Structure 1
């Protein structure tokens, strides 16, 4: 199970609004969410403003004890999770990625399993973080030029839980959502969980749904009855 949710930001999207929404979702619960956005495909015409807005938001995050006033991002679940996240960062940078923010343990927090919210640009598709689910507050950014190309790249992994699309063109957004291999797609929206919504994925992200009318079907036993009427 699990996922590796792509975010596709088309050329007609608002780069600042989409970056803020994507960053907010990325760092929720320190990135330890199964539908967390984990691969950011940004149209090359929006590269600079998107990166700038994403990093600007990331800089506002305060890491620490979640029970402390003012803290907006808490720890990872265990020490190995921190080590694994740092290994993914190191691999991405070694393959040509540019570290824009974070990428290390916070210097002021020497107790607990903390890592800085991290943003890496120009991450190649063969980097580990682009193929392995990074259950961590690490955001790999890359660019695309063509719609068909980015959908092929987004669908290249065996995961299919969540995907996200940003576009001000309703037709383009809908077309992209239809072509993405995922059980759930958010268009200009990052909140995908609600009691009335069928939550679930496809491919190696599982099958079946929870929530909504479809969610009850896993608890039912279908029965076929064929009844021939006998005339008397």
Structure 2
């Protein structure tokens, strides 16, 4: 085999790894975009973590309402193990610059003897803690596990962080969608007239209370100026209010 051929043979596995990693990230992006709930988001992320990082075991943990880091999704972890390590986290909820932690051999980690024995008892010898963050806070972590000591290559570390960013963004987006849906339901069920406009005074939302009060249906008012409801002799007041809002002023 010529030197050139040998060089190509040595490069092919690396090139193949890059193609495989790109395919994993593409599938993750596609599945996160199509996900209908957190369960589908977690499932897509666990698939990507295992495929990209070459492991059959992974987990996702989130801070619960009490600030405890708890399991929300996992692959191939026993109930006993999850109960034993639930709540363990290297970071606090308010931490803004959490860094990933790669443990190449749990025996050398410096953790307590009890925790090391628990991890080894599950057949885990190496693991990684990867923080999950929204745009303004730490929301959890994902973990990947190996049955033997494992040296994390730079490429694996980069992949882990890429998956974490996508997962964090997907969780934040789903949380925002849920909050928006809840607020929309509250507005719609209110007996009070609630109207939303843009900064030009064009109606963007109109609830059933507004329909009852003003006798205009939602379809009649969405996209039309709020000025239709204001007597001609008071329309200057509305223009002044909108001008103040556009200037960033507070209006009672």
Query: TM-score, normalising length from structure 1?
Result: 0.26
More helix, by proportion: 2
**Higher alpha-carbon Rg:** 2
TM-score by length of 2: 0.24
**Structure with more relative contact order (C-alpha pairs < 8 Å, separation 6 or more):** 1
